[in-house]
Amino acid sequence: MKKSIYVLVASLFVAGSFISSCSSPDKKADQNVQEAKEEVKDAKQDLAQAQQDASAEFQKFKDESNAEIDANEKRIAELRIDMKNEKREAREKDEKKIDALEKKNHELKEKLEAYHNDGKSDWREFKTEFKHDLDGLGHAFNDITVRNTK
């Protein structure tokens, strides 16, 4: 009899522990839903912050690039003035080069204005390509003033 009481008490203890450790599926589901909602809220905040940062970075890049394009326009005007003092043959040759540089500068300005940072396109790729083109244009300005006279 003593043995059966111990078995009964042990069984009740195990059953009680099992029942108390198990919470209802509804309660667990509610917890999971609440955690998921919090994760979604955090993700939305992170996304909004990332978009704001990207927008600020794009605006900064756009302002810097527009400043370089404006500086190129001034250099074109200066080159046109300096070109008037050259001989006719050199002037015609330089005029064609300057016209090509002016066209490329204008194309870069249009490309920058046409780009929309909507998150769908690859911003880094655009930035790298645009910066490369702008730097190449700067080198072309430096090369136009060099004369090979041997």
Mean pLDDT of each 10-residue bin along the chain, 150 residues long: 66 64 66 83 83 81 90 89 82 86 91 76 82 88 62
Domain boundaries in the chain?
88-150
Query: Could you give the angle at the alpha carbon of 92 between the alpha carbons of 89 and 94, nearest 5°?
Result: 105
pLDDT at residue 150, rounded to an integer: 40
pTM equals 0.63
CA–CA distances in Å: residue 110 to residues 23, 66, 105, 116, 135: 64, 10, 9, 12, 16
**Which residues have CB under 8 Å from 119's CB, separation 6+?**
51, 54
The dihedral of CA 92, 97, 103, 106: what is its sign?
Answer: negative
pLDDT at 137: 87
Element (H, E) at 10: helix 2-21
Nearest of 103, 101, 93 to residue 138 by alpha carbon:
101
Please tell me whether residue 148 adopts helix, strand or coil conformation. Answer: coil
Contact 108, 61 (CB under 8 A): no
